[in-house]
Amino acid sequence: MALNLIKILEKLAVTLDSDDVYLGSGTLVRVNGVFYILTARHCVFDDDENELCTSKIIVKSEHYGEIKLDILTVKRPELDAVLLKVSDYVELKDYPEILYTDDITFPSLQFCFRGKPKSVSGKLNTVYNCSINGRDKINSVIDVEIPIQYYTDHKGGTGAEVLDGYSGSGLVIANHKQLYYCAIVCSVSDDNFCGVECISISDIAASSGLPFDIIKDLPCTSEIVQMDVKRLRKEITEQIINSADDTNNIAVKNLKRKMDLFLPGWGKEDLEQFLSDMLTWDILYKDKVRGNAVFKNLIDESKDALSAGNKKYIVNSSSEGNRSFHNIKSEFRDIVSSFLEEHTMWKKYVTTVSNGEVAKYLANCNLDFREQKWK
């Protein structure tokens, strides 16, 4: 990606203090040419406070230095998100173009947020490689899963307290050509879910009444899919080679036996291609699909359609087996395509899903070929 995310986030991320007390993180945003600091409500409001005077708050930016706010009395919003207006006299040169989106369910999207933990170092840090784990629209909460290493500090401490202070950070899409802002961090999970809870930009727009221009259909997702699958295939090359060489692997043995019946004269590259299809889809399913309820249901339904009925094929020769196999691949591709046809951004996964599932069926005996035994 051409996007220099580190430099951009240095211009967007801010910290909020009051009387030498660190309050939390925030993001510099612009709506209709007016600048605001967007942060979590609980960062600046006390539990029993219904009004806030912005003169108490000190906003600091890595790039712009201290940012003055308009001196206003702000009423406590119902949502755990608040916008504080930046003074019109503040000059913010080279402010990057930010787009806002509510389209965050695409399986290949990766997210990040930048903020400052309540640590001695006092340095801002970016949490990368986050993914959407689910969304509760009733409670206006998005669950964002983050890598476990971000739950550990330099002293070896672990748990939600390590991320204390990141509230108010802006959640942005990390693997797109353009910068898309989609939510703010409102709390760190304190249960077994390793992640943060966020509030979407659409809910913030509705609560504030400000005219955020929110994109509902994220463009250029096909490029993200291609990069995602290419990256996964590169990462599992070693697994493929090890699996192909492991003669004691039952799945590989099953795969080889069936290939004898529909792909005569197959070589190592053919075997590795099947293993690549299987492992790529397996990783993609765990990382991108499992936490997305809608996509998971569509895939599971298409798999059920493939599994229905008798899937043991009696063949008289390898050429007959080859024809049967290609018919099966074509049939399942049509099944997957029909289940995903109404979801434009997910249709790009049809080949990966169908090839991966067929390879898994071959390796796990759900899809079988038997040679006709003549007496």
Check whether 271 has a pLDDT greater than 60.
yes
Q: Are 197 and 141 in contact (CB under 8 A)?
A: yes
pLDDT reading at 341 higher than 80: no
As a whole number, the mean pLDDT across the chain is: 82
What's the one-letter identity of residue 4?
N
Dist. CA 171–CA 181, nearest whole Å:
6
Mind listing the pLDDT tens digit for each residue in 93-117?
889 989 999 888 777 788 999 998 8
**What pTM was estimated for this model as a whole?**
0.67
* CA distances to 42, 198, 298 from 186, in Å: 8, 5, 31
For 196-250, write each residue's pLDDT tens digit.
Answer: 899 999 999 999 999 999 988 887 777 777 777 777 777 777 777 777 777 678 8
Q: What pLDDT is attached to residue 375?
A: 42
- What is the CATH topology of the domain spanning 1-218? Thrombin, subunit H (2.40.10)
Phi, psi of 244 (to 5 degrees): -65, -30
Which of 36-50, 51-65, 252-266 has the weakest average pLDDT? 252-266
Q: How confident is the model at residue 1 (pLDDT cuts 50, 70, 90)?
A: very low
Report the sign of the C-alpha dihedral through residues 136, 138, 139, 140, in that order. Answer: positive
The residues spanned by each domain of the chain are 1-218, 221-371
End-to-end CA distance of the chain: 63
